[in-house]
Amino acid sequence: MKKKQHCYMCDCIATSEEHVPPKCLFPETKDVLNKNDYRKNLIKVPSCDEHNLSKSKNDEYLLIAFSIAWCTTNYAKDAQLNKLLRINKRTPHVIYEILKNRQPVNVFKDNSIISTYKYNLDYSRVVEQIIHVAYGIHFHHYKTRAANKPKIIVATGMKTELPSFNKNQRIITEKYNSHLKSTETHGENQDVFYYQAHKSSNEVVIRLVFYKDLKFIAIFPS
């Protein structure tokens, strides 16, 4: 008899499998010019219904947030354009609410100035989704559910309007970059997503990288 598995995020018995990161972040073959299969060998973990089926809208919100981020590679924008158009046709209010009060702004990247926009992103909603991904990757990589909730650091790709908060995020990022610099990368489709994991006596640190330029650090205390 097959042993029952528990959810990657809670003590409930798993009833399905959850893709981590969400499957929608990986472009469909019909939407990419090179016709590559970016959905092969995706990471899946056991999940209860609450932590899988009930969050599909949040998964799409994460896709929208990532696709319009100023630092996201042109590849990601082009590959997800048709997907975004389909989402916008089905639920136009979501993208509208994010972009309705956008304002032009200049940012620096690779010693160049890029003209982009700041917009009304639900920051806490994005971070909550990254927490789900971090739990999933921890379960996948270490074969056990994390005992404690991770702290999420936005390493690159997103900034708030709070300079002190952004500075603190940058300081913490620089601290952990040294731990992760030479750590092996994992992931079948690294143009879309890969991760690195480092374990010490008092914490587990996982770097999550989306579309090469959107980077988050999840810190799990032991």
Closest CA to 72 of 167, 193, 165, 175: 193
Residue 88, helix vs strand vs coil: helix
Residue 153, helix vs strand vs coil: strand
For 113-148, the pLDDT digits (tens) are 777 777 888 889 999 999 999 999 999 999 999 999
> What is the rounded CA–CA span in Å between residue 180 and residue 193?
16
Residue 177, helix vs strand vs coil: helix
Pairing mode of beta strands 44-47, 16-19? antiparallel
Closest CA to 53 of 98, 5, 103, 16: 16
Res 103: pLDDT: 82
> What is the rounded CA–CA span in Å between residue 214 and residue 209?
6
Res 218: pLDDT: 97
**How many CB atoms within 10 Å of residue 159?**
18
Closest CA to 192 of 24, 26, 21, 58: 26
Contacts of 131 (CB under 8 A, 6+ apart): 149, 150, 152, 218
Res 97: pLDDT: 86
Res 1: pLDDT: 46
The residue type at 129: Q
For 66-82, the pLDDT digits (tens) are 887 755 556 566 667 78
> What is the rounded CA–CA span in Å between residue 197 and residue 93?
37
* 222 residues of the chain, pLDDT tens digit each: 457 899 999 999 999 999 999 999 998 888 887 788 889 999 999 999 888 877 788 998 998 888 877 555 565 666 677 888 888 888 888 888 888 888 887 776 667 777 777 788 888 999 999 999 999 999 999 999 999 999 999 988 787 888 899 899 999 999 998 889 889 999 999 989 999 999 999 999 999 999 888 899 999 998
Contacts of 141 (CB under 8 A, 6+ apart): 186, 195, 197, 206
Per-position DSSP letters for 109-149, written without gaps between them: ETTEEEEEEE----HHHHHHHHHHHHHHHHHHHHSS--SSP
Res 153: pLDDT: 95
> What is the rounded CA–CA span in Å between residue 45 and residue 94?
28
